[in-house]
Structures are given as C-alpha cells and as structure tokens.
C-alpha cells in the first residue's frame, strides 16, 4: 500500500533529449572490434582506415570523392580555401544556423553576407540570395538545416548564371535528398560534420568534404596536410586537419547503419505529426514540414511555439524533466562578434522570428515510443494552459487573481 502510494508520488523518470548510450548498445561489438583493429595496427594517421571510410562515404553520397578532415568546421574552412576564397570576397549564407557556418567564412578572410530564410523550412531564401549578389560574391553557402536540403534548384540556376560556386553546409544533413540526389552532391563541395550528436556521429570530432571535382579533391587532400604534395614539398601553406584513423574506423561501422537510423528518425517524425498534428494545437504550435521532393532526415525536429510563449513552454517542459532545447536562440547577424558588419535588429525578420519561436523535441533513432506519447501529453497540457489563460482578457482576469 505504502509502496504504491510512494511510486505514484515519484516524479517521472527524466526523458533525455538524446541517448548516445542506447545507440552504442546496438553496435557495441563491431565498434569495439574496429577500435581494437586500429590499436593492433598502431596506424593512427590516414592509411587504409581513412581511405576505406572515404570510399564508403563517397558511395553513400554518390560523389566522386570524399576527403576526411578534423571537423565539420574545418570541412567548411577547407572548402572555402580550396576554392580560393579570401580577403575582399563575400560569401552569402544563412543567419539561422550553427555558428561555424559563418565562422568559417570569417576565418578564411572573407565576409559573411547574411540573407533571410524561408519560414516553412528554416532554410535560406533563394530570392534573397539573388538580391544580395554583388561583384564581390565568390560563393553561396546554403545550410541544409535540421536535416532538410535548402531549395537548391533556384540556387543552382543563379550560381550558374553568375558563375559562383555553391558550398553546401551539409553538417546536419547526411542522407538528406533533394529531388533524388543526396546532400553533398548538390554543389561544388559538400561539408559534413561527424560531431557525436549528428546523424552519423564519431567518437569525438571529425568531418569530411565531398566533391565531384578531382582537382578540388586533390587540393583538399594537400590542404589538410600543410599543403604537402609529398617528400616535404609544400605547394601552398595548409593546415593540420586530418581525420583520425580511429574516427574513420568507427564511422565506417556506423555508416553501415545510417539508413536504418535515418528511417527510424523519419518514423519518429511521423509519430510526432500524428501525436501533435490535428489536435487543435495549430493556434499554439507549428510542426516542421517536409518540402516537396525532399527527404528530410531529421537531425532535429524543431517545432515553433507561437505568440511569444516559447521560453515559458520550454521551462515548463524542463520542470517536468523533459529534455528539449533551442537551435538556435540568436540569429547570427545579431551576434556580438559580427557587430562590425552593421546588421540591425529587424533586418532579417524571419530568421529573428525563428530564433524566438523554435523548440527542438527529441527525435533520436532509439527513442522509445512511450517517451513521445508522454511528451505529447505534457506539451498539449502546457500549451492549452498557456492558451486559455491568454484568451481571458485583462479585466476578467483581475477579480480572479484578487480572490486568490
């Protein structure tokens, strides 16, 4: 009796935003075997492990070449340097993304030019790109945010017309498709991150660049080793940005499971749509959409919480120990470090609105269905509470709160 009572009063188990241990349990043996093989061989830099992973990655993306490097951030930087982008050049990109997108542009000496996003997909708006093109524009860097490709066709058309290369920030989008083609082959170079929480996550930092251009590939291969073209001859000044053999070995194992994991994320997304769509919540929240012709692989499932209630809803979910988070709370054009670029608040309104409305719900492949049901119930309660309170107009609310 006492036992039943206390278990009723126990606060529910916390629901994690992501559970990497759950995934590891499904691939434990083969991952540890791969790690052991690298240790037995004591070959930690480049070599067969890296070459094999690069081959598999190129196959997976249907690109001619894949070049491993130290991180997704370095993939972006190396791609820019490989295309000779530098001081005086402008690179048009999205302000609603992870910092590294714009950081890489600044690091190569160029200037990021931020243009607004499309509210439906959170991705860069092609018309806005065209308006921002100047004679100094030397690259366009669309981001396939949350795992869905940017609207690439109009971007290709203007890139061709103006002769400007497209560099995809595909860090969140491995396996995402646009009209049947995979992220990574939708521009001159595709940049991937294998940060542990990405859909294909390493055991630490790692990244890669895909390209169909053999000359660019050769250049990237030397840029990642100090510009060395063999026998300590340096064609140019490069970096130390190799992918570790250990990471390549782990990633090769995990790449073999990626399709299964992506499908699991997609079916979790479908369940979110079922649990939260058509439930009379449309005045309070908006669910993400998969654009026509796109395969979304849901690195994140970001909803919008409308009417300025996002932070309140987030806090209430956290009070119930439900893991959820915000990607991203501040548009990059308003970041302190870019103040010298002279952007003003209100200048890129869709990006700013997204930053104030988005809320990412858990979507990882191994997530139990029961968690989704629990979260959907909690979220429904919370937004209905907030909503009914707001519909009571001010004079009617006063007597109640005085009485209380």
Ligand X SMILES: *Cc1c(COP(=O)(O)O)cnc(C)c1O
Cα 92 from Cα 155, distance rounded (Å):
11
206 contacts 251 by C-beta, under 8 angstroms: yes
Helix (H, G, I), strand (E, B) or coil at 226: coil
Alpha helices, H only, 284-340: 310-319
Q: How far is the CB of 168 from ligand X (least distance, A)?
A: 10
Q: How far is the CB of 303 from ligand X (least distance, A)?
A: 18
Residue closest to ligand X when measured from CB atoms: 72
Q: How far is the CB of 144 from ligand X (least distance, A)?
A: 8
By beta-carbon proximity to ligand X, the closer residue of 122 and 195 is 195
Q: How far is the CB of 192 from ligand X (least distance, A)?
A: 8
Cα 388 from Cα 386, distance rounded (Å):
6
170 contacts 191 by C-beta, under 8 angstroms: yes
If binding is defined by CB under 6 A, does position 207 make contact with ligand X? yes
If binding is defined by CB under 6 A, does position 328 make contact with ligand X? no
By beta-carbon proximity to ligand X, the closer residue of 123 and 172 is 172
By beta-carbon proximity to ligand X, the closer residue of 238 and 371 is 238
Helix (H, G, I), strand (E, B) or coil at 118: coil
Phi, psi of 130 (to 5 degrees): -60, -40
Q: How far is the CB of 37 from ligand X (least distance, A)?
A: 24
222 contacts 238 by C-beta, under 8 angstroms: yes
By beta-carbon proximity to ligand X, the closer residue of 195 and 275 is 195
By beta-carbon proximity to ligand X, the closer residue of 298 and 313 is 298
From residue 89 to residue 128, the character string flagging contacts with ligand X as x (rule: CB under 6 A) and all else as - is: --------xx-xx---------------------------
By CB under 6 A, the residues from 36 to 95 that bind ligand X are: 71-73
By beta-carbon proximity to ligand X, the closer residue of 76 and 379 is 76
By CB under 6 A, the residues from 162 to 201 that bind ligand X are: 169, 171-172, 193, 195
Tokens of 111: 């200037």
To 5 degrees, how large is the angle CA 36–CA 41–CA 43? 110
By beta-carbon proximity to ligand X, the closer residue of 72 and 112 is 72
Q: How far is the CB of 171 from ligand X (least distance, A)?
A: 3
Nearest one of 296, 319, 301 to 17, comparing CA atoms: 301
The helix-helix angle for 369-391 and 258-276 (nearest 10°) equals 30
From residue 129 to residue 168, the character string flagging contacts with ligand X as x (rule: CB under 6 A) and all else as - is: --------------x-------------------------
Phi, psi of 388 (to 5 degrees): -65, -35
Q: How far is the CB of 97 from ligand X (least distance, A)?
A: 5
Q: Residue 157 contacts by C-beta under 8 Å, 6 or more apart in sequence?
A: none
Q: How far is the CB of 360 from ligand X (least distance, A)?
A: 12
Cα 65 from Cα 68, distance rounded (Å):
10
Q: How many residues bind ligand X (CB under 6 A)?
A: 15
By beta-carbon proximity to ligand X, the closer residue of 53 and 195 is 195
Q: Residue 387 contacts by C-beta under 8 Å, 6 or more apart in sequence?
A: 283, 284
> Which residues of this protein are in contact with ligand X, per CB under 6 A?
71-73, 97-98, 100-101, 143, 169, 171-172, 193, 195, 205, 207
């Amino acid at each position: 009796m006492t036992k039943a009572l206390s278990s009723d009063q126990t606060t529910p188990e916390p629901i994690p935003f992501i559970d990497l241990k759950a995934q590891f349990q499904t691939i434990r043996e083969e991952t540890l075997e791969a790690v052991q093989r690298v240790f037995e061989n004591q070959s930690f830099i480049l070599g067969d492990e890296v070459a094999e992973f690069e081959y598999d990655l190129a196959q997976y993306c249907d690109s001619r070449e894949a070049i491993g490097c130290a991180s997704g951030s370095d993939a972006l930087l190396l791609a820019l340097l490989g295309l000779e982008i530098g001081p005086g050049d402008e690179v048009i990109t999205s302000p609603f993304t992870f910092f590294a997108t714009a950081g890489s542009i600044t690091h190569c000496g160029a200037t990021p030019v931020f243009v607004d996003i499309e509210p439906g997909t959170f991705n860069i708006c092609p018309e806005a790109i065209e308006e921002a093109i100047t004679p100094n524009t030397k690259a366009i860097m669309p981001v396939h945010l949350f795992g869905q490709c940017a609207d690439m066709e109009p971007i290709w058309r203007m890139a061709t017309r103006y002769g400007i290369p497209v560099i995809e920030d595909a860090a969140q989008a491995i396996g995402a498709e646009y009209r049947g083609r995979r992220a990574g082959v939708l521009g001159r170079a595709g940049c991937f991150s294998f940060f542990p929480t990405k859909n294909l996550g390493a055991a630490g930092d790692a990244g890669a660049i895909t390209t169909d251009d053999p000359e660019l590939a050769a250049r990237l291969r030397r840029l990642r080793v100090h510009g060395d073209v063999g026998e300590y001859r340096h064609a140019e000044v490069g970096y130390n940005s190799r992918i570790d053999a250990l990471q390549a070995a782990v990633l090769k194992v995990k790449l073999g499971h990626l399709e299964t994991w992506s499908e699991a994320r997609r079916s979790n997304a479908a369940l979110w749509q079922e649990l939260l769509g058509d439930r009379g919540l449309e005045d309070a929240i908006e669910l993400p959409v998969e654009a026509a012709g796109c395969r979304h692989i849901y690195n994140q499932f970001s909803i919008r919480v409308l009417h300025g209630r996002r932070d309140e809803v987030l806090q209430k979910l956290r009070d119930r120990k439900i893991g959820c988070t915000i990607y991203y709370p501040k548009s990059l054009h308003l970041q302190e470090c870019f103040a010298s670029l002279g952007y003003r608040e209100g200048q890129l309104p869709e990006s700013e609105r997204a930053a104030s409305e988005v809320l990412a719900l858990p979507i990882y492949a191994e997530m139990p269905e029961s968690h989704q049901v629990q979260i959907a119930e909690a979220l429904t309660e919370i937004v209905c509470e907030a909503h009914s309170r707001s519909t009571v107009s001010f004079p009617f609310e006063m007597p109640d709160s005085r009485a209380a």
